[in-house]
Amino acid sequence: MTVVSRFAPSPTGRLHVGNIRTALHNFLFARQHGGRFLLRIDDTDRERSTAEFDQAIREDLDWLGLTPDAIFRQSERFDLYEREFERLKAAGRVYACYETPEELDLRRKILLGRGLPPVYERKPLDAAVPECRTPHWRFRLDHDRPIVWTDLIRGEQRFDPKLLSDPVVRREDGSWLYLLPSVIDDADMGVTHIVRGEDHVSNSAAQLQMFEALGATPPQLAHEALLVAAEGKLSKRLGSLGVQQIREEGLEPLALLSVLARLGTSQPVEPFTRVDELAATLDFAHFGRAPAHFDLHDVELINARLLHGMDYAAVADRLPADAMEADWTLLRPNLQRLSDFEQWFELVSGDIVAPDLSDDDRRFVIVAEAQAQQIDWSGEPWRDLTEALKASTGRKGKALFMPLRLALTGREHGPEMSALVKRIGKELTLTRLRAAGTH
């Protein structure tokens, strides 16, 4: 099995969530079946394709953990495209057209005005060739053969080629549109499966006839529902959310992948700590046809859940050098982003600002300091301290716990106090109680 993803230049130079989701599903499908995941860089547009664009794609995929088994650039394969183009031209499957964009646009409007589909009208084979015009080239669809395939997501798909325009495959300047080169690549590399957006369904129909014209076996296709946000379809041309912003937000790549893998399916969105776990759950039978709504807030929620269950080994190299596994286990339930760890780490390793307490709470904390000096710190100091304070002060519930939490952490919420008190130890506990009682 060989699966391929195609990336073309975008204005931002980075991957956006729409093509990340498509690449992810191609990657997961390949991994699930022990196949190869190929990356095709559509760099035939010299103005938009730069070394920086190439490097940005690599960096984004590496950060996401979607490393391809092979990368190839279409700009390096022009000889192959030229050879196959000449073969199709000799067979009459590509032909020259001489209309200007203005003429084509006018003809479309006329057809629409008559209530007809705006399908390109072929000229007779003996039509005169306009002088001083360079042709563009179209692929000649076989109008006598319905285009039918079983889509892995959409089920049976059927197109009448008479209702499709013969697609342009080459421009007047000799540059390529992606349709034909992509088919030539897929045939040459033995691509067996492709996952793409449903906005490419009609393009896929035309490409299936291109495979046949080249004498190649077409891949199996899966067209997933479009990804949309509140403002409408997510598009790289509109500068939608991408890897760069996700990274700037401090979110984990697996949080984004966990959300994108399940959007548009009947499966619940849940955090995954490894890409191979995601691959094991991929099932196109769960994919729906309705647009899939992407919300960054969903990624933020999954990010927190992901961190709460993440092992120390997975983050050790990104934590302060003196942070221990016990610190990670203690503090991770309070994290929304990994960058939050350092401020929480101050609770166990640094100084805190003594809180402003009421007079009654300050007196209570002074009593707590005295009790803390008397308890056995080799057992369960938090339990023993609070039980002693209940007995001596009559306080309970929030009145008992909140002044202690504020005195020991400077915050109204945070780590589980029993584990925290054990971690910071007797001396730091006494120091913070004393500071809060005299502040």
pLDDT one-digit tens code per residue, 105-139: 998 899 888 888 899 988 887 777 888 889 999 99
Q: Which amino acid is at 433?
A: L
Q: What percent of the chain has pLDDT over 70?
A: 95
The structure tokens listed for 167 are 């697609």
pLDDT of residue 235: 47
Is residue 212 in some structural domain?
yes
Same domain, 30 and 126: yes
* CATH label of the domain that carries residue 217: 3.40.50.620
Q: How many Cβ atoms are within 10 Å of 268's Cβ, its own excluded?
A: 6
Q: Of 207, 228, 249, which residue constitutes the final position of a domain? A: 228
pLDDT at 57 over 80: yes
Integer angstrom CA distances of residue 104 from 125, 219, 252: 19, 32, 48
Q: Which residues contact 432 (CB under 8 A, 6 or more apart)?
A: 352, 354, 407, 408, 424
> pLDDT digits over 142-176, tens only?
999 999 999 999 999 999 999 999 999 999 999 99
Verify that 329 and 396 share a domain, yes or no. Answer: no
Q: Sorting pLDDT into bands at 50, 70 and 90, what band is 234?
A: low
pLDDT number for residue 131 = 81
237: pLDDT confidence band, cut at 50, 70 and 90? very low
Q: What is the DSSP letter of 223?
A: E
**Residues 340 and 379 placed together within one structural domain of the fold:** no
pLDDT at 99 over 60: yes
Which residue type, as a one-letter code, is found at position 239? Answer: G
Q: Specify if 183 maps to a domain.
A: yes
Is the same domain home to 79 and 141? yes
The terminus-to-terminus CA distance of the chain in angstroms comes to 69
Confidence band for 26, pLDDT divided at 50, 70 and 90: very high
Predicted local confidence at residue 3, as pLDDT: 82
Q: Looking at the domain assignment, is residue 301 inside a domain?
A: no
Cα dist from 154 to 197, 231, 233, whole Å: 11, 25, 20
Banded model confidence at residue 245, pLDDT cuts 50, 70, 90: confident
**Do 322 and 374 belong together in one domain?**
no
CB 154 within 8 A of CB 106: no
Q: Tell me if 254 is assigned to some domain.
A: no
Q: Same domain for 24 and 132?
A: yes
Q: Binning pLDDT at 50, 70 and 90, where does residue 52 land?
A: confident
> Would residue 136 count as lying in a domain?
yes
pLDDT, mean of residues 315-330: 95
Buried b (16+ CB within 10 A) or exposed e, 419-430: ebbbbbeeebbe
373 pLDDT band, cuts 50/70/90, is very high
Residue 236 pLDDT class (50, 70, 90 cuts)? very low
Per-residue pLDDT at 356? 93
Dihedral sign (CA 320, 323, 324, 328) = negative
Q: Which residue type sits at 344?
A: W
- The predicted model gives 71-85 an average pLDDT of 93
| Cα gap 51→3, rounded to integer Å | 25
Question: Annotated binding residue at 236?
Answer: yes
Average pLDDT in the 361-366 region? 96
Domain that holds residue 74: 2-228
Alpha-carbon 220 to chain mean position: 23
Of 437, 19, 61, nearest to 260 (Cα)? 19
**Residue 225 CB-half CA count within 13 A:** 19
Q: What is the mean pLDDT of the chain?
A: 90
Looking at 196, 228, 260, which one is the last position of a domain?
Answer: 228
Give the model's pLDDT for residue 243: 85
Q: What pLDDT score was predicted for residue 417?
A: 96
Domain count, the chain: 3
Q: Is the pLDDT of residue 265 over 70?
A: yes
Structural domain ending residue among the three candidates 228, 263, 295: 228
- Do 138 and 52 share a domain, yes or no? yes
| Residues 110, 15 share a domain | yes
Domain membership flag for residue 296: no
Q: Does 26 or 229 have the greater pLDDT score?
A: 26
Task: Answer whether residue 239 shows pLDDT above 80.
Answer: no
Residue 210: Cβ within 10 Å count: 25
Nearest to 13 by CA among 187, 190, 242, 328: 242
Range list of H helices, 167-317: 179-189, 201-213, 243-248, 253-262, 275-281, 296-308
Average pLDDT over residues 325-344: 95
Q: Which helix (H) or strand (E) holds 434?
A: helix 417-438
The reply to whether 396 and 323 lie within a common domain is no
